[in-house]
Amino acid sequence: MTGLGAADLLGLFGHFLMLSLLAVGGAITTTPEMHRYLVIEHAWMTDTQFTASVAIAQAAPGPNVLFVAVMGWNVAGAMGALATMAGILIPSTALSLWATRWGASRRETRGVRAFTTGMTPLTIGLLLATGWVLAGPAAGRVGAMALVAATVVVSMRTRISPMWAVGAGALVGALGWA
Specify whether 146 is located in the same domain as 77: no
What's the residue count for the chain? 178
Task: Provide the number of structural domains found in the chain.
Answer: 2
Domain hosting 172: range is 140-178
Task: Report CA-CA distances (Å) from 53 to 8, 67, 81, 115, 122.
Answer: 20, 7, 12, 33, 25
Angle between the 47-59 and 66-105 helix axes, to the nearest 10 degrees?
Answer: 60
Specify whether 101 is located in the same domain as 145: no
Specify whether 76 is located in the same domain as 19: yes
Is residue 90 one of the residues assigned to a domain?
Answer: yes
Specify whether 74 is located in the same domain as 30: yes
pLDDT reported for residue 2: 54
pTM: 0.64
Specify whether 158 is located in the same domain as 91: no
Is residue 132 one of the residues assigned to a domain?
Answer: no
Q: What percent of the chain has pLDDT over 70?
A: 98
Residue 135 has pLDDT above 90, yes or no: no
Is residue 62 one of the residues assigned to a domain?
Answer: yes
Helices marked H in the chain — which ranges?
Answer: 6-22, 31-35, 47-59, 66-105, 110-135, 142-157, 162-174
Specify whether 68 is located in the same domain as 152: no
Specify whether 19 is located in the same domain as 68: yes
Task: Report CA-CA distances (Å) from 165 to 63, 75, 146, 147.
Answer: 20, 29, 12, 8
Is residue 130 one of the residues assigned to a domain?
Answer: no
Specify whether 37 is located in the same domain as 10: yes
Specify whether 67 is located in the same domain as 154: no
Confidence of residue 84 (pLDDT cuts 50, 70, 90): very high
Most confident of 60-64, 77-81, 138-142: 77-81
Q: Specify the amino acid at residue 91.
A: P
Q: How far apart (Å, rounded) are the C-alpha atoms in residues 32 and 37?
A: 9
Specify whether 98 is located in the same domain as 168: no
Is residue 156 one of the residues assigned to a domain?
Answer: yes
Specify whether 42 is located in the same domain as 95: yes
Question: Considering only CA atoms, which of 131, 125, 137 is closest in space to residue 39?
Answer: 137
Each residue's pLDDT tens digit, 167-176: 887 888 788 7
Is residue 1 one of the residues assigned to a domain?
Answer: no
